[in-house]
Amino acid sequence: MKTIKLLAVILLPIIFLLTSCKNESNPVQTPTTGTIQGKVTNSTGDSVIVGATVWTNPPTSSVTTNSSGDYSIPDVSPGQYSVTAMKGGYNPTTVIVTARAGKITTANISLNLNTIQLGLVAYYPFNGNANDESGNGKNGILYGDYQVVTGIKNEALRFIAHGSSDSLGGHVLLPNFHFTSMSSFSYALWIKEESLVDAELYISFRDDPFGIPYAGISHSPANNVIEFQVGVTSTNSALTAPFSSSYINNFVHYCLVYTNGMIKGYINGSFIGQKTQTAIVDGIYSAIARHWFNNQTSTRFTGVVDEVRVYNRALTDNEIQALYHEGE
């Protein structure tokens, strides 16, 4: 009996020491990331959406929904995220969630059917021509030096500048869009700028062939800005955003929205600012990659233009995101 007690006295400290060493070499790990998961359905809730793309901002990873409409984004650092789901034929939808370490955060998302065709006045995909494919018959007319190239979806047009005082450079004349009859409107397009002879409107609308007011979306190298306009006058300036050097030789999506006397500008799907601008140009003289419309016609832009759309309504943020994500 004494021997057993002696062995216990000797062995217990040893067992305790070994156990302590094991715990120190394999401490309990505290989770540092969490998971965002959920289900994507249509807005009526009667069916799941399979193959929808889901991503976060700030970026983590992009995943797709399975056959049950479920998705899971693991290893998400704690913090607030916007989670966006998108599928062809639907408008993208975003929800805001807060991820926590060691926890599963649920973010169910419902998508509305795509409304991107509603209010479409003209659509120029530039598939080898300047035809309007909205069904409204607002065909453009191609002039000068241009090429058919690969675009965002299928084909696009590459326009080649010829200077600030001739009309030989590539450009498209457009019909009148009658913006003054609209309380709200939007125009959007993809641009891959290569070079400019001088400041140029990618898309322009004028009531005076050689002066102000004018409207459109343009690049002003002198000020290093992109300009969004619906009726620029001597007292009514454009909405501007910095022009990034990364825009050169890369496709960039620009969108202008006008409603209730306010311009909103978007670059690559992101809202860049807004300002009041009440003067509206009707669009008697309208064009792509052309500056003036009289004897001093200029074609100053060299680059690719694609997927030009004009609407008689204000696009929503989600719809603008949908147009941008077409290019991905």
The enclosing domain of 74 has a CATH number of: 2.60.40.1120
Domain contains 5: no
Residues 104, 128: one domain?
A: no
Residue 261 lies in a domain: yes
The larger pLDDT score, comparing residue 61 to residue 328, is at 61
Amino acid, single-letter form, for residue 226: I
Is residue 281 domain-shared with residue 180, that is, in the same domain? yes
Task: Look at the alpha carbons of 131, 287, 273, 156 in this order and tell me if their dihedral is positive or negative.
Answer: positive
Structural domain total, the chain = 2
| Whether 102 and 247 share a structural domain | no
In a domain, 236, yes or no: yes
Q: Which of 134, 124, 209, 208 is nearest to 174 (CA)?
A: 124
Mark whether 159 and 71 lie in a shared domain: no
More confident residue, 210 or 206: 206
Domain boundary among 56, 86, 111: 111
Is 7 within a domain? no
Tokens representing 177? 């869009």
Closest to 152 in 3D by CA, of 176, 169, 127: 127
CA distances from 53 to 39, 62, 65, 113 (A): 12, 7, 7, 15
Give the tens place of pLDDT for each residue, 68-85: 999 999 999 999 999 999
Q: Does 64 lie in the same domain as 125? A: no
> Residue by residue, what is the 3-state secondary structure of the chain?
CHHHHHHHHHHHHHHHHHHHHHHHHCCCCCCCCEEEEEEEEECCCCCECCCCEEEEECCCCCEECCCCCEEEEEEECCEEEEEEEECCCECCEEEEEEECCCCEEECCEEECECCCCCCEEEEECCCCCCCCCCCCCCCCEEECEEEEEECCCCEEEEECCCECCCCCECEEEECCCCHHHCCEEEEEEEEEEEEECCCEEEEEEECCCCCCCEEEEEEECCCCEEEEEEEEECCECCEEEECCHHHCCCCEEEEEEEECCEEEEEECCEEEEEEECCCCCCCCEEEECCCCCCCCCCECEEEEEEEEEEECCCCCHHHHHHHHHHCC
Q: What is the pLDDT of residue 278?
A: 84
Lowest-confidence range among 161-165, 220-224, 228-232, 244-248? 161-165
Average pLDDT of 63-72? Answer: 96
Answer whether residue 270 is part of any domain: yes
Share of the chain above pLDDT 70, in %: 88
How large is the average pLDDT for residues 46-54?
A: 91
Chain-wide mean pLDDT for the chain? 88
* Burial per residue of 57-74, b for 16 or more beta-carbon CB atoms within 10 angstroms, e otherwise: eeebeebebeeebebebe
Q: Is residue 49 one of the residues assigned to a domain? A: yes
**Is the residue at 25 inside a domain?**
no
Residue identified by tokens 């941008």 is: 324
- d(C-alpha 167, C-alpha 146), whole Å: 12
Amino acid at the residue 97: V
Task: Collect all residues with Cβ–Cβ distance below 8 Å to 46 and sequence separation of at least 6.
Answer: none
Residue range(s) defining the domain that contains residue 95: 34-111
Give the confidence band of 19 by pLDDT, cuts at 50, 70, 90.
low
